[in-house]
Amino acid sequence: MRDTLNLFRQGLAAAVIAVASVGASAAVVQVAGSPPDTTQLVGAQSDTGTTPESQSVSAFSGSVVSIDWWGYDLLQPQGGSTDAFLVSLGGTSLTGTVDRSDVGTFFDNNQTGFVLFKYTLTLTNQMMFSNPSLLEVLNDSVDAEWYWQKTPGGDSLAYAIYIDRPDGQLPEPTALALVMVALLAVAAQRRTGRA
């Protein structure tokens, strides 16, 4: 009986640890967006000299972790500062760190190379949204002629929105009960095997 009780306690402890680890983990998933055209530079100007460009976003609800967008700067072909971006979602200004990575270089008729960048805003504090309607991105630098890259076909602006979403559900009580019954059966079998 003592072996059965110990085995039951060990099984219960393992089940509690498994449930806690599943409940505590989360995954970042893309919930909205359209990929950029990576064959040519085709964008909409969105800088201090213009009004902010906006893109309607797909419906979603969740805690936003980060937002990606793509673009290029005609005055600073190799890329200017990332500090000058103003980003809002559903009319709410977002703050965080903007990083960029080189997607490719495109040449004009004068053989000037313009780099298409992927920008990522990682939010300082995650924000909960429920079906925001617009994403706005503006490069507020005075020495920029910045363009937000469009999607293939030029129908919309390229972006991606990522939220936190639990990667698993807590096990149902019946599933835990079945695990416990199996452990008890193994313990009972071991006990009868010793007799």
Per-residue pLDDT tens over the stretch 138-167: 999 988 899 999 999 999 999 999 998 755
| Total-model pTM | 0.71
Average pLDDT over residues 121-135: 90
Same domain, 8 and 48: no
What is the extent of the structural domain holding 109?
A: 26-167
CA distances, 49 to each of 53, 85, 153, 167, 187 (Å) = 12, 14, 26, 43, 75
Same domain, 11 and 32: no
Same domain, 5 and 99: no
Same domain, 53 and 135: yes
Amino acid letter, 92: T
pLDDT at 3: 55
Region of 91 on the Ramachandran plot (φ > 0 left; ψ -120 to 50 alpha; else beta): left
Same domain, 75 and 129: yes
pLDDT at 143: 86
Same domain, 90 and 144: yes
Same domain, 15 and 61: no
| pLDDT tens sequence across 5-59 | 454 455 444 444 444 444 445 688 999 999 999 999 999 999 998 989 999 998 8
Same domain, 67 and 156: yes
Average pLDDT, the chain: 80
d(CA 167, CA 29): 9
- How many structural domains compose the chain? 2
Residue 87's pLDDT band (boundaries 50, 70, 90)?
very high
Same domain, 35 and 128: yes
Residue 169's pLDDT band (boundaries 50, 70, 90)?
very low
Q: What percent of the chain has pLDDT over 70?
A: 71
